[in-house]
Every structure is written in structure tokens, then in C-alpha cells.
Chains A and B, each alone.
Chain A
Amino acid sequence: MADIARSSAARPSRRHARNIGNLALQVALVAIVLGLIAAAAHNAAVNMAKANIAHGFGFWNNTAGFDISQALVGYSASASTFGRAFWVGLLNTLLVSAVAIVLSTALGFIIGIARLSHNWLVSRLAGGYVELIRNIPLLLQILFWYNAVLKSLPELKGSVTLPFGGFLNNRGLFLPKPVFAPDFSAVVIALAIGVACALALRIWARRRQERTGEQVYLLGPTLALIVGLPFIVFLVAGKPLTFGIPDMGRFNIRGGLEILPEFAALLIALSVYTAAFIAEVVRAGVLAVPAGQTEAAQALGLRSTTTLRLVVVPQAMRMIVPPLTSQYLNLTKNSSLAVAIGYPDLVQVFAGSVLNITGQAVEVIAITMAVYLSISLVTSLLMSLYGRMVAVVER
């Protein structure tokens, strides 16, 4: 009895001491890191002074003077600044990463589930995909898609003609470009209203089920609201959308929507590569849910779709979300391999061209690092919010 009393009295003070020790250690570490950074900055400043390079961010508003092959915002070599070039590069990084995240997630989930299939052929094909793709370096895959596939497409003259007036050749993919009339905003508003109504309908249906027990199937009404309503508004507003058809000239193709082979190669490679890892994450997540869970749900009379939705998926998602997040972060960082094929992403434009022209290595590299760090932190934050939404924490 006395023993217990003594040990429980001693425990808090011992923990207290350990906390102070930890704190001191962390402060010391931070001090060392800050000291190293300060020394490096000082060293760089001295070197730059010797080489007659101004430091600071004055270069930001100077004229860039170099071309960028893909710009989502207006950009011209003669009129735009280095700052503008930064934004162009950043947007290109975000574009290829965001689209690749969507594609790799879709592909990864399909392949991960396929690998669990009872069908021998399906699961073997999925397994083969994963083993093949994840064992070849990503850089090699990017070069493969760019040089072996896209660059070996026919020349301009022999362009493959696609339906609806598109073209495909070794300069890229040329598609009809949507041109929105001002009235198109009505369709966007209708879509927003449709989505809001569909969400409200879901909430109403859940309340109603809680009250009466009756289950309502929402697929039809949801589709009607999200697809049907905007479509009707589109017709009523007099189809406020036209397409600019690409026009094949003798030396180039004008008009239309142009997708560069550099973008396509990077997008395909990132999506295909990351999908292999996501497939493994999904497979592991589903396998981590014990068979006893499905059996217990089935023994209670739940149908297999209900069992999946209410028992298996929530538990699997809890396993899947954290490693999925790190795959998304990897994908975003891997997009900087764009340099290899000249896709104008942040690294190629800013840490490449801008740095070479201005010579301001410290500032440029620091900004670039800060940007990747911010993208990663925001991605992690969003994913942990999502993780909290899909999976109640078990205590």
C-alpha cells in the first residue's frame, strides 16, 4: 500500500524532469539549426558581394526576357517580370500535380481493388502492373513517355485527325477549345444550386431515415440535380458555349486547346507511377480489415454493399489516408522531374531559368523550397481533415 502511494507520488515529478530534459534538447537543436543557416547565409552574402551580385528581392520586378512554352496566365518574354515567371511556373506545377493526383487516385483504387479480385487473370494483371511500374525509376518512365511515345508520333503534316476536329502529332494534342459566352454563368450558378440541393436532399433523407427507418435511394434525384438541372439551364440560356476548332496551317496549328507533349508525358508518367503505389496502399488498407468484420456484418443480415459501405470502407480508409497523403506529397515533389523534358514547372522556370539569369541562388532556392514546403503542409492539412471526416477515431 505504502509502496503504491510512494510510486504514484514519485511519478509526476519524474515525468516533469523528463519533460524539462526534452525541452532543453529541442531548444539546443533549434539553436544549432538556426546557427548553421545564419552561417550559410553570411557565407553566401560574402561570396555574392565578391561576385558583384546584388542580394535581396529586387530582381522580382525586373523584366524576365525569356519565353515559357505553357502559361496559364498572360505572360510574354518582353513585358513580364521574374515575379510573373514565378507564378507561371508555380501554376504549372500545381496544374500537373492536381490532375495527376486525381488520375493516380482513380487508377490506383481500381488497380488496388482489382488485385484483391477473386478472378485470377484480373488480380494477376493488376499485380503485374504494380511490380513492373514501381520497379522502374520514375525519371526513366518520364523519358519513355516523352521520347519513345509522344515524340515518335507523326509530324504536323501527318497529324492524326481526331473526332470533333482535334489533332494529335509530335507537337502535342490539339482539341476544340470551349469558349464561354457571358450567359454561361447561369449554368455555373445552376450547377452550384444543384449541388447544394443534392446535399440538402442527402441530409433530409438521413433525417427521414432516422425518423421513419425508410431508406431512400438518392442516385436518380442526385443525378437529376447535378447534371439535369444545369443542362436544362444550358438549353434555356440558348447554349452559351461554343468551341474554337483548331485550324491546321502549313507550319503550325492555330486556335483550339493545346496540350504540350511535355505536359502529357509528365502527367502520364506521374499518374501511372504513383497509381502503382496507391494500389498497394489501398490493397493493404482493405486487407487490414479482418475477415471477421465482414462476417459479423453478414451474420446480422447486412447486404454486401451495405457491409462494404458501413463496415469495411470506413475501417480501410483509416488505414489508407495517412500513406495516401505521403503518396500525394511524393507526387507533387516528383513533378519537379519536369526539368528532364523541359516542362515549365516551378523548378524549371524559377529555380532554373530565373536563377541562371539573375544569379540569385540563395533567394531563388529559398523561395522554391518554401513553396514546396507550403504545398506539402497544405496537402497534409487537407488530408488529415478528410481523414477525420471519413473515419471516426477509435479510442
Chain B
Amino acid sequence: MVQGSTDAADEKARPEVAVEIAGLNKWFGEFHVLRDINLNVARGERIVICGPSGSGKSTLLRCINHLEDWQTGRIVVDGIELNDDPRQIVAVRRDVGMVFQHFNLFPHLTVLENCTLAPIWVRQMPKRDAEAVAMKYLERVRIPEQAEKYPARLSGGQQQRVAIARALCMNPNIMLFDEPTSALDPEMVKEVLDTMVGLASDGITMLVVSHEMGFARQVADRVMFMADGQILEINEPKAFFAHPQHERTRLFLQQILH
């Protein structure tokens, strides 16, 4: 009873908007990489972001967990306003998981240690509990038998699944994926995408930079097209693919679908 009521309170405390980005502008020196970005991501929403190389997709994603700083605008993640306060930044990062194009696993730690590092040092979990959580997620991504190996021994697809498990071990509300399959050999793309489809069905909020349009059609609530640091178009997948509003979107889709 008591348990139930606190859960309900938690639910209420969490805002319906998972990520709120308003008037975001960022420059790398003279280069205006993000131009007046406005985006609200609802809780549980899954957004796939596509666009030509250099359009600022990675940069936008990296602003959400403050791996990049920005000049103007605000970002609120799970009700926490991101500013220069390190405590706010850590609070957001505990809540936001990120998966990188090149996995970025820690080569000097085993798969299991990769997964338990943050739960132990950030969530202050007892080692045994952290290992239990890690094994749960390694089973989720279907590689529990690799737990004691070092990452370099694994295939690319396996490494990326470990990276996903590592992020999930922090029990995040929001997951960011930056081209998670584009460094993989074609035959490994599917195993990673399947894992992500599984995640999507759990109702976790996801922002995915990807050019896997099949995946976008299958799981995205909205698909977003970026060019020159701007959001040119954002729409439900059906409409997005059937009736792109912009000429550039049309050209881009033509290029990657053929």
C-alpha cells in the first residue's frame, strides 16, 4: 500500500515532457552548428533523427546530456534544467543513457565490469546487486555468456549490445543512440536493431540518430529531418515517408532508400 502510493507519487512528479529544448543555438567558433532548435519529446516517445552528414545530429544529441556546451537556449531533461552546475549535469546523466557509434566500451574492463562500473560508483550499489542487474541486462541483449570476456574479444554487434546493456544498467528514463549501427558490418546490424526494437516496446523514451529507415517505420513515433543545423521537418513516419514536405527531405530519402 505504502509502496504503491510512493510509486504513484513518483509518476506524478515526473513531467509528461521527457526532454524540452527551446531556442537552442550553438556555434563551434564561427560555425553555427545548431540553429534555433525547438523540440519537445513526450515521455515514452521514440524519435528517429536523420539528415545529411554534418547537419548537427550528433551535436544535438550530445547537448541533451551536456557532453557539449551551447551558447543560447535551454534544455530541460526530466524536469531538471541543464546549466553549468555540475550537480545538475550529473543528475541528468544518471537519467539519460547514451550509445555511441563506436561503442566506446572500456577496453581494460571485462564486459561485466563495464556494466557494473557506473552502478557501483554513481548509484553506490553493492557489487553483488550491480552484478545481478548487469547480468539481467546482458541476458536482455542475449550475451550473458560473454560477461567475463574483455570487449576486444567480441564482435562489433556484440560490443554494441554490451554498450546498450551498460547504459541500461543505470536504469535510465531516456536513451540516446548516435548511429548505433553505422560502424557495424551488415550482418550484425540486425541483432542490434532487434535489441533496440525490444527496448522500444518497453516504453523507454528514445532519441535515435539513424539512417535505418526500416527501423524508423517500425518503432518511431516521429521521424525528424535535420539539415544545416535546423530541424527542417518532423512528422509521424507514415506521413514523413509518404509525403515529405521539403524538397531536401525528398532528395535525402531518395538517396538513402536506393
Contacts and interface: CB of A to CB of B under 8 A. Distances in A.
Interface string B91-133: 0011011101010111111000000011011111111111000
Given A210-B127, A298-B67, A303 B90 contact: yes
A299 B235 CA distance: 29
B124 A215 contact: yes
A135 B90 CA distance: 45
B65 A299 contact: yes
Contacts of A293: 104, 106
Nearest to A309: B121
Interface in A258-313: 290, 292-293, 295-303, 306, 310-311
A341 interface: no
Interface string B152-174: 11000000000000110010000
A132 B102 CA distance: 39
B252 interface: no
B209 to A, nearest CB: 15
Interface in A352-395: 391-392, 394-395
A74 interface: no
A286 to B, nearest CB: 14
Interface residues of A, number: 29
A212 B126 CA distance: 5
Contacts of A306: 121
B150 interface: yes
Nearest to A295: B67
A300 B67 contact: no
Nearest to B153: A395
A301 B94 CA distance: 5
Given A211-B127, A214-B124, A301-B122, A295 B104 contact: yes
A292 B93 contact: no
Given A210-B127, A214-B124, A301 B118 contact: yes
A108 B228 CA distance: 45
A43 interface: no
Contact of B93 (A290, A301, A310, A394): A301
B67 A210 contact: no
A206 to B, nearest CB: 9
A318 interface: yes
B117 A394 contact: no
Interface string A40-61: 0000000000000000000000
Given A214-B124, A299-B67, 12 more contacts: A209-B127, A211-B126, A211-B128, A213-B120, A213-B130, A293-B104, A295-B67, A297-B106, A299-B98, A301-B93, A310-B121, A395-B150
Interface of B: 65, 67, 86, 90, 93-94, 96-98, 100, 102, 104-109, 117-118, 120-130, 149-150, 152-153, 166-167, 170
Those 10 A-B pairs whose CB atoms lie nearest each other, nearest first: A296-B104, A300-B118, A210-B127, A301-B93, A292-B104, A299-B98, A301-B94, A213-B124, A301-B122, A213-B126
26 contacts: A209-B127, A211-B128, A212-B126, A213-B127, A214-B124, A215-B124, A293-B104, A296-B104, A296-B106, A299-B96, A299-B98, A299-B167, A300-B118, A300-B122, A300-B170, A301-B93, A301-B118, A301-B122, A301-B170, A302-B118, A302-B122, A303-B86, A303-B90, A306-B121, A394-B152, A395-B149
